[in-house]
Amino acid sequence: MQLAAMGAELTLIARREGPLRDAAAKLTGAKAVHVLPLDISDEAAVNSRVADHLGAHPANMLINNAGIATPGRFLEQDTSEVRSHMNINFFGMVHMTKAVVPHLIERGGGHIANVGSLLSVMGIYGYTAYAASKFAMQGFSECLRGELKPHGIRVTMLLPPDTDTPQHAAELEIMPRETKAIAGSVKMLTAESVARSLLVGMASNRFEVIPGLDGRMTVLAQRLVPGLVRYVCDSKQQSVS
């Protein structure tokens, strides 16, 4: 919505055409809004359809925001849950990036933004599958930044805390009580404020964007005193065990 208000030309990608068209109808001010129904975990489909779309609608920016989050205890989850998180959160991002980067190089540059999480740099009880996929995104983005810099393509990694979205509401329905005890201490942000932080960070050519003071302090603590962070998390989860 914020990009549309700036007059950008947008392409929205997701699996279901109906919700895509509903979202497109709500956007005002955009130069144009296109919808591309596509399962980004399907590499062959991405390679075929994205290339055709870019031929008709050139782009200079890719925001990889598709993702799933299904919290649960590792021993109680089927390994298919782990695969689903990796196929969508990680490999979906890889497929889209692989399809778009040659186009950006041909155009002389651009920007890739990958939407991670605070759990891209730390892990907590109940998020083994999700955190694994987001850690993978972080490592991928770190390496990609260096590789694409000579081509004039910038890379930004977004590390938001809990954000008020329908997906987060669904997570709360199945979240282990230990996870709730830990996450309850983190201030939730609005989707609008997180999106604004990302766009400001991209405009400032920052690699890592961490919305909110609480989020920045959490990442700083995890990097400087990880043992203390683990102690705090362990104490909170033990309080409800």
CA separation for the pair 4, 27 (Å, rounded): 6
CA separation for the pair 38, 14 (Å, rounded): 5
CB 60 within 8 A of CB 3: no
Percent helix, percent strand, percent coil in the chain, to nearest 5 = 60, 15, 30
CB 40 within 8 A of CB 73: no
Place of tokens 């907590």: 124
Pairing of strands 153-158, 208-209: parallel
Q: Enumerate the β-bridge partners of residue 190.
A: 164
Catalytic-residue membership of 125: no
CA separation for the pair 230, 222 (Å, rounded): 8
| Integer Rg of the chain from CA | 18
Query: Helix or strand or coil: residue 76?
Result: helix
What is the distance, to the nearest Å, from the Cα of residue 159 to the centroid of all Cα atoms in its chain? 8
CA separation for the pair 225, 81 (Å, rounded): 31
Active site residues: 130
